[in-house]
Amino acid sequence: MKSSWKIETQAVQGSYEPKATESRIPAICQSTTFKYDSADHVAALFDLDKADPFYTRLGNPTTDSFEGKVAMMEGGVGALATSSGQAASAFAILNIARSGQHVVSASTLYGGTYSLFANTLPKLGVEVTFVDPEASHEELKKAFRPETRCIFAETIGNPGLNVLDFEKFSALANEMGLPLIIDNTFGTPYLCRPFEHGADIVVHSATKYIDGHATSVGGVIVDSGRFDWSNGKFPELTEPDVSYHGLRYVEKFGPLAYIIKARVQYMRDLGATPGPMNTFLFQHGLTTLPLRMERHCDNALAVARHLEKHPQVSWVNYPGLDSHPSYALAQRYLPRGASGVLTFGIKGGAAAGKTFMESTKLIALVVHVGDARSCVLHPASTTHRQLSEEQQIASGVTPDLIRLSVGIEHIDDILADIDQALAACK
């Protein structure tokens, strides 16, 4: 059984099984549409009685092989690939929260997600209350309303790098009868297993470690298949859908109800579809994800330890350091390593930070993380610049914070580049 394979094997061999003479790896099926012999076959597709591909906005064999592999690696029942991580987060929420409803989210989020929640979802009538993930269970409970429909948080906050207390958040979600949606982009299916810690839905920016080579923007939603949508709060999943001849998702699709609804309603109507070339690259990226993550984690820990001892560095934030406030949570939820991103402050503040970023040679100044190549960024002046200073602080960004995404190059070369860039800041 493939589902009992170790994740390293699933990453390499999962979800695609070629027959004799078929291509060894999933082919790039660069086609908008597919041919049929009978009108009845096409009608069955439109009635969702068959799952064959019929139009690439709704499904494509290459995309299928990516979705199957990532679902298997996360331990879910199904997945939906999207054209970006942003689309994955937006669809994951809109699939269950409509105008007049409400979401509770950890405040420690990627800047784009924060902006989606603070500005765009409210324009669509979905309000979001941000909570401090370190708050107590009792404090967190105060954020909930009768119309709340889900809880959202990142495994490792970007760029605050706080590790989520899954036990606290999943207990809260259970108590409220709501799904817990986790952005596992920094966690990756290899380092963190949100479904084993009570999450119901996982989203990823596949752009990051899943791709791993900075080739493509994309996202994915994975469904654990475990949430009980018939608890009375989610009539859109249990009552007839007029846009599908009165189809009831839970009745027809059981544990796949949520992920099929996201595909046939939201992907059909809003169309944030990834191209087959990109999903080919994502499934290709997954093949080496476990190996790459091991090296990312080893290198990031070595860089964090090096910076911690450096006289020009005022602080280092990496959950793999035993001095980190999230260290115990990282040991529990990220036992294989605390991923490849760390942040630090240089003595000399924002000005020294700017000099540092302009002085690295191997480490490139790019708006990205999760690439095999090391990269550096100053979030306050870039990814989080649209947020107010107050919002920046709430999402974990201080003015002097420098974010390093440590790549998989040889550690000696990474450390030498950091040292020469720090020397330039003196």
Q: What are phi and psi of 241, to 5 degrees?
A: -95, 115
CB of 304 to ligand PLP, least distance (A): 19
Nearer to ligand PLP, 366 or 415 (CB): 366
Q: Does 217 bind ligand PLP (CB under 6 A)?
A: yes
CB of 85 to ligand PLP, least distance (A): 2
Q: Determine which residue in the list 219, 274, 285, 396 makes contact with ligand PLP, applying CB under 6 A.
A: 219
Which of the stretches 3-11, 24-32, 105-113, 417-425 binds ligand PLP when contact is defined by CB under 6 A?
Answer: 105-113
Nearer to ligand PLP, 60 or 185 (CB): 185
Residue type, 345: G
CB of 299 to ligand PLP, least distance (A): 19
Nearer to ligand PLP, 217 or 316 (CB): 217
Q: What is the spatial distance between Cα 329 and Cα 288, in angstroms, rounded to a whole number? A: 26
Q: Does 10 bind ligand PLP (CB under 6 A)?
A: no
* H or E segment and range at residue 124: none
CB of 90 to ligand PLP, least distance (A): 10
Q: Does 183 bind ligand PLP (CB under 6 A)?
A: yes
Q: Does 158 bind ligand PLP (CB under 6 A)?
A: yes
- Token pair belonging to 195: 């479904």
Number of residues that bind ligand PLP (CB under 6 A): 15
Nearer to ligand PLP, 129 or 382 (CB): 382
Nearer to ligand PLP, 278 or 359 (CB): 278
Residues 246 and 240 sit within 8 Å (Cβ to Cβ) = yes
Q: Determine which residue in the list 56, 207, 317, 392 makes contact with ligand PLP, applying CB under 6 A.
A: 207
Q: Does 113 bind ligand PLP (CB under 6 A)?
A: yes
Nearer to ligand PLP, 126 or 375 (CB): 375
Q: What are phi and psi of 233, to 5 degrees?
A: -95, -10
Q: Determine which residue in the list 185, 278, 299, 359 makes contact with ligand PLP, applying CB under 6 A.
A: 185
DSSP conformation letters of 67-92: HHHHHHHHT-SEEEEESSHHHHHHHH
Q: What does the chain come to in residues?
A: 426
Q: Does 62 bind ligand PLP (CB under 6 A)?
A: no
Nearer to ligand PLP, 84 or 392 (CB): 84
Residues 131 and 173 sit within 8 Å (Cβ to Cβ) = no
Q: Measuring CA to CA, which residue among 193, 181, 184, 153 is closest to residue 10?
A: 193
CB of 206 to ligand PLP, least distance (A): 7
DSSP conformation letters of 300-348: HHHHHHHHHH-TTEEEEE-TTSTTSTTHHHHHHH-TT---SEEEEEETT
Which 72-91 residues touch ligand PLP, going by CB under 6 A? 84-86
Residues 6+ apart with CB under 8 A from 342: 161, 300, 303, 304, 307, 316, 317, 318, 403, 404, 406
CB of 78 to ligand PLP, least distance (A): 20
Nearer to ligand PLP, 247 or 364 (CB): 364
Residues 109 and 155 sit within 8 Å (Cβ to Cβ) = no
Q: Does 275 bind ligand PLP (CB under 6 A)?
A: no
CB of 204 to ligand PLP, least distance (A): 8
Q: What are phi and psi of 180, to 5 degrees?
A: -100, 120
Q: Does 64 bind ligand PLP (CB under 6 A)?
A: no
Q: What is the spatial distance between Cα 102 and Cα 145, in angstroms, rounded to a whole number? A: 7
Q: Does 265 bind ligand PLP (CB under 6 A)?
A: no
- Token pair belonging to 11: 């990453």
Q: Does 212 bind ligand PLP (CB under 6 A)?
A: no
CB of 146 to ligand PLP, least distance (A): 29
Start-end of H helices in 166-243: 166-176, 188-191, 235-238
Nearer to ligand PLP, 303 or 377 (CB): 377
Lookup result for tokens 């800041």: 425
Beta-bridge partner residues of 131:
106
Whether the bond between 53 and the residue before it is cis, its omega within 30 degrees of 0, is no
Which of the stretches 29-37, 40-48, 183-191, 222-230 binds ligand PLP when contact is defined by CB under 6 A?
Answer: 183-191
Residues 367 and 383 sit within 8 Å (Cβ to Cβ) = yes
Q: Does 110 bind ligand PLP (CB under 6 A)?
A: yes
CB of 110 to ligand PLP, least distance (A): 4
User: Which residues sit at the interface with ligand PLP, rule CB under 6 A?
Assistant: 84-86, 110, 112-113, 154, 158, 183, 185-186, 205, 207, 217, 219
